[in-house]
Structure 1
Amino acid sequence: MSERILVVLLLALNCLLVAKGETADEDFTTLRSLISTWKNTPPNWVVSDPCDDWEGIKCKKTRVTSITLSSFGLGGPLSGDIGSLSELEILDLSYNKDFTGPLPQSIGELRKLSTLILVGCNFNGPIPDSIGNLQELLFLSLNSNSFSGPIPPSIGSLSKLYWLDLADNQLEGSIPVSGDDIFGLDNLHHAKHFHLGKNNLSGTIPPQLFSSEMALIHLLLESNKLVGSIPSTLGLVHSLEVVRLDSNSLDGPVPPNINNLTNVRDLYLSNNKLSGPPPNLTGMDALSYLDMSNNSFKPLDFPEWFTNLKSLTTLKMERTQLQGQVPSSLFGLVNLQTVVLKDNKINGTLDVGSSYSRQLRLVDLETNSIDIFKQNEVPGVTIILKDNPICQEIDERAAYCSSYKSNFSYSTPPNNCVPDTCKSGKISSPNCICAYPYTGTLALRSPSFSNLDNNTRYLMLEESLMRYFKSHFVPVDSVSVMLSHQIMDPTQYLKLNLQAFPSGQDHFNRTGTSQIGFMLSNQTFKPPQPDFGPFYFLADKYEHFGNDEGLPESGKHSNIGIIVGAAVGGLVLLVLLLLSGLYAFRQKKRAEKAIGQSNPFRRWDTVDSKSEVPQLKEARMFSFEDLKKCTKSFSQVNDIGSGGFGKVYKATLPNGQVIAIKRAQKESMQGKLEFKAEIELLSRVHHKNLVSLLGFCFDQGEQMLVYEYLQNGSLKDALTGKSGIRLDWIRRLKIALGTARGLAYLHELVNPPIIHRDIKSNNILLDDRLNSKVSDFGLSKSMIDSEKDHVTTQVKGTLGYLDPEYYMSQQLTEKSDVYSFGVLMMELISARKPLERGKYIVKEIRNALDKTKSLYGLHEFIDPAIGLSSTTLIGFDKFVDLVLRCVEESGEERPKMSEVVREIENILKSAGTNPTEESPSISSSYEEVSRGSSSHPYNSNDTFDLSAGSPYPKVDPV
């Protein structure tokens, strides 16, 4: 059969593949495993490809990156297999009330996850601590489930987190804050939302939870079991807009500095045991809603400062021991809508005045001591004076002597049409079309209004929803908002019933309900601000997807047709697969022959012919033309350094990735075996504190290595001032820690272990956040013989850093790197070269050391850029002790690198610094300081071997 016919058959095969053609094998297997435990999955999930056809599944190339299945009617447990979707960025399973069971620990394996939303399901059990592994997480919403146990402290390690909503669960225990070896919510400086209400949280509100560095706008802790006083540190968070501490057991006085929160619109302190005088809130000009009811405040005449709150719409002070007379000027606040002062000791005359706010609707002074009401009628305002002397003695039949009962309700009016009489459970929409709407409850957690009879407000909400749906192409014809007279629950949430009607048909498909659910669950829709405030949405179960998506009889017949068609197609596929296999085999042989002729990498002479090709995991082989093109023919413009090995160029790959290319000079090129060994070594080490090898070139007589590009250059440049980067004490500790972690990985986690053999400041590179990365593995050695603790090899290294024991014995061990690292730590302290003007830094520091003096008497050695303050150099003595252990003459007396890591972590913790927290990005330009220098951090030009002479005086072996 000719090749042309085979190509045609292969194209036909590609069109016929329906079982799994586009999704990566591992993701396809994981999805199949997940849905095997779920109920009510869509029919098309059975026979089609997830990346092409599965509703709610989105992919990039062949990897699943988004799962948004809100309101799908799914049920069952969430399998631990979810952790295998390593490229997943968004997971939203909201409003599937039949999802049950715990959240698996493997959720922490989704390292690229940025959005996790499980609102309104029925998950239970503890929130797994592994959630702290999701370092890319921006949005975490687990509210309205049945989660129990404590809030995992590991959430505090999510430095990028913007939204945290754990409300309406059964969480218990205290609010976690950072301490020894633990994280806490106080570390979430970028988070704007702490929604933790309606749980069983206990203990005090920790003072260290708040700081001036936080960006919080919503703090919701209502309806818990919190005790103790309100910490004064709350007044430091000037960004706050909504504060709800109501319905707890908080006591003591309200801190007076709470009036520093000048951006707060809604302040709820009600239903606690607060004492002392009510706080003076003068200066809180944005305050709209204030509720301090049901507390044990000290008896106080009605505060005049209430009349200074120009934005006030709602004042609630029930049972707070207020006394005296209410000034008429209070009612003149232009935005005032509601005043509730029930069960107090207010007396004298009630005078609303003639200039009262035109928005005023309710003044409730039930159970007080008012004996005179100056105006018997105030048009448009409900006045309640029941159980006051005026009603008991003068006019108990007056309207204002009755209890207040709200009878307000609202529903969207028809849009200039006559509502239809609908059948089969359908509802007439605002456009008078019968359909099955998507429904749910929109709960406003702190509305800034209390005047509920303003229809314009709800029409504005409906219009805002419709504009949003249309702009995002969601198939919604109209929306309806409804309120009944029972609109406020005990938590004082304002609950609205929301209906969204489908466009073009009488029901939604799953894609439509999922779109609506996702927009409301992930808070991308923002209601008109500031009136509506923070909200959450709980969808009702949608059961009207229709025959096209359910499994009634017609669906069953169509599925039978699919199965028969699939069986027939399977036979055709079998034949085509056999033919395509023969074709692929033939093409593979041709390709291998071509590669063997053109690629010198395949023709290297080796001792063992079976190991001709380097065993590469992630490194890419570049052609000479590839690198020539991206460096503009290795132009001088892209030359960023040179050394004994050759030159280093900055370049940009076609995909936009910036790289550094290390190009060997002809006279310095290694042998083929050595170059191959270095590439194989580098391709199997992957750690955030090691410079990544991206690829190599062995083409047209060239030897080139391609690395990730690090813009802040070498540690040597930073210490000498060439890069313009100032390294304070904490940054130096973090650089030491990152380097130690990289070495510990090479020594203890790589198999077989690797000894770097050339640790020095020029081989430690700094990224944009000043994270340190170990580079230049040209002298590295693998510990291939597992029965030996050393490698006997020719001495190579760098003057000043070389381990004397290795030099004398020619036996290289992991402790040789430890010695070099100790010298590097001395360099971090002093910014001096290890060997300078005939003086050796190790000997100099040992001779000057005096542990009876402050800073061990090493003032003259400390880099002035750090400073000499003992308060600045926290942990300096412990750091020097560790340095001296690292440079012990005997390798056995030196610590392992893993021990060094732990020691530096402890020093950072004692300095009040989180060892895992990265520094912010800085703007220093690596390119500017490196170009034209005599050496470059991607290569070493001052290494030596034994024939070059000794860096140390000759010592007779013991």
Structure 2
Amino acid sequence: MLEAHVLLYAAVLVALSPYLLRDSAAHKTTDPSEVNALSAVRSRLIDPTNSLKTWNSGDPCSSNWRGVFCYNTTNDGYLHIQKLQLLKLNLSGSLAPELGLLSHLKILDFMWNNLTGSIPKEIGNITSLHLLLLNGNQLSGFLPEEIGNLSNLNRLQIDENQISGPIPKSFANLRSVKHLHMNNNSLSGQIPPELSVLPVFHLLVDNNNLSGNLPLEFSEMPNLKILQLDNNNFSGTSIPTSYGNISSLLKLSLRNCSLQGSVPDLSRVPQLGYLDLSRNQLNGPIPTNKLSTNITTIILSHNSLNGTIPANFSGLPNLQILSLDNNRLDGSVPSTIWNDMTFVGNKSLTLDFQNNSLANIPNAFNPPANVTVLLYGNPVCTNAQESIIQFCQPQNVEQASESPTNSTRSCPSCPTDRDYERNPNSPMPCSCAVPLGVGFRLKSPGISDFPPYIKAFEIDLTSLLDLFLYQLYIEQYMWESGPRLNMHLKLFPSNTSLFNETEVMRLQGVLAAWEITLSDVFGPYELLNFTLGSYEIPGSSASGLSKGALVGILMGAIAGAIILSATVTVLIVRRNWKYRTISKRSSLSKFSIKIDGVKRFTFEEMATATNNFSDSTQVGQGGYGKVYKGVLADRTLVAIKRAEEGSLQGSKEFCTEIELLSRLHHRNLVSLVGYCDDSDEQMLVYEFLPNGSLRDHLSAKATEPLNFAMRLHIALGSAKGILYLHTEADPPIFHRDIKASNILLDSKFVAKVADFGLSRLAPVPDVEGVLPGYVSTVVKGTPGYLDPEYFLTHKLTDKSDVYSLGVVFLELLTGMKPIVHGKNIVREVTMACQSGKMFEIIDSNMSFYPSECVEKFLSLALKCCREETDSRPSMSEVVRELESIWRMVPDANVYPSEYSEISSNKMSKSSSTSLMIENPFTSSDPSGSDHVDNNIPSATVAPR
């Protein structure tokens, strides 16, 4: 074997040597000052996943350092760095001042990492910079005045950090800037009026601590399309009437800004499509002049507006939401708003007039099926007639978080050797291909309902990316606070199974460099991630041999040694398949993870336990990877969660879960047996729980439905596990992703809470001993289970887990999923209870149950799901109430130790108050998904 290797290498070297020698004389290197700058940058970064391993040797430009892209031609004999793109690599540490030495840089991209410290003022020296992208980190400190020196800057994104202090007046010198995204920080002081001279399209400074007056000068901005200032404190300020003269304005959002005065007349803004002035102290009547026919969204709720609802809201063909709730409007309910609208496809209209003083309703009030009218809290609903009672139920207007659904085909399985998937939009039935994953977010869309615009978005994006329409698949989308629209897209190759390297690099470059501009209605976008999966491309290629030369060299080398190499390859493949050996690394030590009592397994042990990861041993799959049932050498059954190659969030969640589970020990928490951390593999090994997840047993496919006692005991076990996290873990932990698929069941149906990849440590006292009540964090979790207050404020508390568990309780009682076809379980159950139809929504698979226990359990679930954090019970109160209900269950003393012997008949014989009912809400439609976030892993049967 050794002699064969030597002969192979010799043959290749002989074939390559003349080309290598010829090229070395003309080979250029990177400017030494820029090499030194990158070395300084690297020294300030913490790279736990070894993403920058290519930075350890060679020349940055000619050795393909990851994220380093260089100019192909220069005049001084050196190569210069053009782009530094280190998007979402789990980097921490700080930004080095030496970045300012990269004097030829056009793109500086550190988005979606965990960087801390301040923005170096030296970045202001890079006058060639076009894109400065630092959003999604933990940067703090003040904004440097020197940023104003970047006269060529087109886009500044520093949003979703912790930057404080004022917006520098020097930013008025950014005479090329089109996009200023500074939202979700702690900026304070007044917005400099000097910014009005800028050619800005999108000014996003929402969710800060800005104060003072709204600059009158903004009405003079010639290109301003989006002005988004929500959640600041312009106390005592009114909206300048001159804002009605911003002719280019498409979106004006001033929600929750402590504004006073009247609503300005915006009828002279010809393209206005989105208006949100809610949650202020605006008063007076609503202007009666006609608004732009482009408008989709009008939100004036939670003010002190009076008078009647004007007729100018009629004749707006694109209107999706008109929200006037919680004002002082009186008179009659309008019935003409929808008269000029055509409802086709998914188009709908919501009219929210709740909590006003509307006293009259027209005769024969009959809105179309696609129009939702909400009148709760108005005098017209007092002693309301049967014909309008349907409009008098309290509701919260929520944006749907569903993913598109596609018809399924009966097709053979796709190949398993790479990340092949079926393209649901492909014109070729059953075709398999390897897609590219794209995390994509609309930062300030001009719409409130996405389905009517999905086709327009697909046409727009594919034409800009130079793709066919069928190559784009919107896998999932969800509305986030802002509101912003988060999507996970998949790009499929056309008429082939794989993109070529050139096409992968083209698509990545176009999206990461903002070389496309979506239609104005969709507003600005941002790239959240670009997942290569099975694709492998270099970080950059600026110099050295051309592709043609390389192909010729390699073909010559292969031709010279083809027989020998084929022989050696066969031997090596056979040997590796049977005796795979992988060098170990100590990445866990970089995280300082405590792993006492947790075994480290080798890859060979995992492969043996799963019969080389045979499909027959696979029991689940989620965003993190696949889950296998394994048998260890000592015959212990385990569940093995194997991270997919190229998973961007895998390493972080991998380490988070080990760190937490290694020190958590409770009967109602899943136990971590060990882990495998080989050089290219990451696996977590759990106790095997044969009864899968709670979601499995609530689905329409469940063969043996759970009776009430079993459901109640699962609820109690889950609550005890979470109570342990909140009160006994040291430090306490917020789970952040409690859902039915993360509650697993052992052989006796004992509930065990699983999946700690998104968990966060609870806050600890500060230097003065004050204990904060929340953790400020980016919203993650699963739609339908998310605490509404956490969703809006980004403040994670123990009550966020209470809300999610309350949703699980409602699932246990009704069998419904949290969100199906736009219906939210909390809303549906609340409405049923308020209308006296509580028992009509109980899961019909739970044929017999003690009604008093069900009523108390349902009441507790709804308390957990209250919108206001402070009005929810604590987890200890939840456990106490569940124990109280448990004591009321007939023959409770026999549970839960012998669940396998319990039948629903036993419950029916023991309870004189049992009822038998049908559940009209239970759906067997498998298309409803309870998982809508590409950053959130999921599974169905075993720990993920």
Provide the TM-score with structure 1 as the length reference.
0.48
Query: 1 or 2 for the larger relative contact order (CA 8 Å, sep ≥6)?
Result: 2
Provide the TM-score with structure 2 as the length reference.
0.48
Larger Rg: 1
